[in-house]
């Protein structure tokens, strides 16, 4: 698992992004109450918050959103530990940080062309914190 984490970390580069209304990189969903999340993947960021920017970790998992079961990305400032695939956790939604966010860009080669992808943005996202692990 640590080897998998290190290989992903090596392919992830950090780019400072400024959250602006018209250029928001994530599609956010509204979650007001705590919710359970079945973990598919966790990326613990080796960096932590500084005074001028926010580094974040990502937990990708499955949750009930409204009347549907959806795969979502939970953005968490400075996640301290890794959660395993299949683990059930409870997440409390939090406000999006007001500070500049350092977005994680994954670079890869597909069909011989260099491409970039904002890590975690393929799923609807919510800012949150883990309040319980089962």
Alpha-carbon distance of 96 to 128, in angstroms, equals 9
CA distances from 4 to 8, 43, 82, 87, 117 (A): 6, 10, 12, 18, 18
Q: How many residues are listed for the chain in this entry?
A: 134
Per-residue pLDDT, 18: 35
pLDDT reading at 14 higher than 50: no
Residue 127 has pLDDT above 50, yes or no: yes
Strands 88-93 and 35-43: antiparallel
Residues 22-35 pLDDT 10s: 467 899 999 999 99
Distance between CA 106 and CA 18 in Å, rounded?
18
pTM: 0.75
* Model confidence pLDDT, tens digit, residues 110-125: 899 888 888 888 999 9
Q: How many helices (H) and strands (E) does the chain have?
A: 1, 9
């Amino acid at each position: 698992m640590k080897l998998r984490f290190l290989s992903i970390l090596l392919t992830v580069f950090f780019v400072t992004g400024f959250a602006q209304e018209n250029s928001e990189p994530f599609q956010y969903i509204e979650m007001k109450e705590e919710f359970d999340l079945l973990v598919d993947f966790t990326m613990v960021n080796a960096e932590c918050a500084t005074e001028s920017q926010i580094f974040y970790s990502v937990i990708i998992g499955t949750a009930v959103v409204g009347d549907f079961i959806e795969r979502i990305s939970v953005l968490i400032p400075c996640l301290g530990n890794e959660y395993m695939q299949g683990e059930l956790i409870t997440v409390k939604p939090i406000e999006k940080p007001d500070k500049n966010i350092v977005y994680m860009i994954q670079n890869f080669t597909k069909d011989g062309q260099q491409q970039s992808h904002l890590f975690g943005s393929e799923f609807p996202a919510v800012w949150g914190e883990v309040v319980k692990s089962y």
